[in-house]
Amino acid sequence: MAKKVTKRFKELLKKVDIEKKYSIDEALSTVKSLASAKFDETVEIALKLNVDPRHSDQMVRGSVILPSGTGKSVRVAVIAKDAKADEAKTAGADIVGTDELIADIQAGKIDFDVLIATPNMMGLVGKVGRILGPKGIMPNPKTGTVTMDVAKAVENNKGGQVNFRVDKQGNIHARIGKASFDKSSLEDNFNAFLRALNKQKPAASKGKYIKTAALSLTMSPSVNMDSQELMDLK
């Protein structure tokens, strides 16, 4: 059954030129003008990359600390023990544990947005890899979530770090702020994210790295962007 298009959404569509490829400046201004929900909507970017993630040399994943933060309260869990567990708690981790945390995950209780682990705990984390992997929250050194510096990792994720990973179809989705952010703050976050993404371009990816790009709010139409301008951000 086709999804019903609401009157509100139809009105928002009138503000968007679906045939146009918006510049970064135009896209941010337009998206901010589309805010209409009763809550502070998230600004989201969606990209289609010219990569084939089935090949390990074309996997794209990484992390970036958004200079203006995400505007979202992030719950961080840490799998560590002894002194490292204490460091995580002091840094503000919401959940810290080992076997009992793994048991909760196995039982389907995942009350966190980010999972961090020390390297010596990865054998334990491996028991729930099939659960965490599809959810995009499996700890990984490339996103700074497998580390002995758990305090810094907790602080980064609480302070605006965004992890990104290409899916099987070559798509990447990420949040870059809130509709309530001023345009300058959103632009700073947008540029930081794209620069981090461009640095992760695989050598095996030939031709146009970013095929398509769009910006939107949680409950708004998408604004298509000029992908070449995005690729020029270094």
Domain ranges, ordered by start, for the chain:
19-69+162-231, 76-158
We find that the CATH architecture of domain 76-158 is 3-Layer(aba) Sandwich (3.40)
Q: Taking the CA of residue 164 as centre, how many other CA atoms within 13 Å lie in the half-sphere pointing to its CB? A: 32
Helix (H/G/I), strand (E/B), else coil: 62 = strand
pLDDT of res. 136:
87
Question: How many Å apart are CA 182 and CA 153, to the nearest integer?
Answer: 27
The letter for the amino acid at 141 is P
pLDDT of res. 1:
41
pLDDT of res. 3:
52
Q: Each residue of 29-80: pLDDT tens digit? A: 999 999 999 999 999 999 999 999 999 999 999 999 999 999 988 999 999 9
pLDDT of res. 226:
96
Q: What angle do CA 192, 44, 206 make, to 5 degrees?
A: 60
CATH code that applies to domain 19-69+162-231: 3.30.190.20
Q: Each residue of 92-103: pLDDT tens digit? A: 999 999 999 999
Question: How many Å apart are CA 10 and CA 26, to the nearest integer?
Answer: 20
Segments of the chain scoring below 70 in pLDDT? 1-4
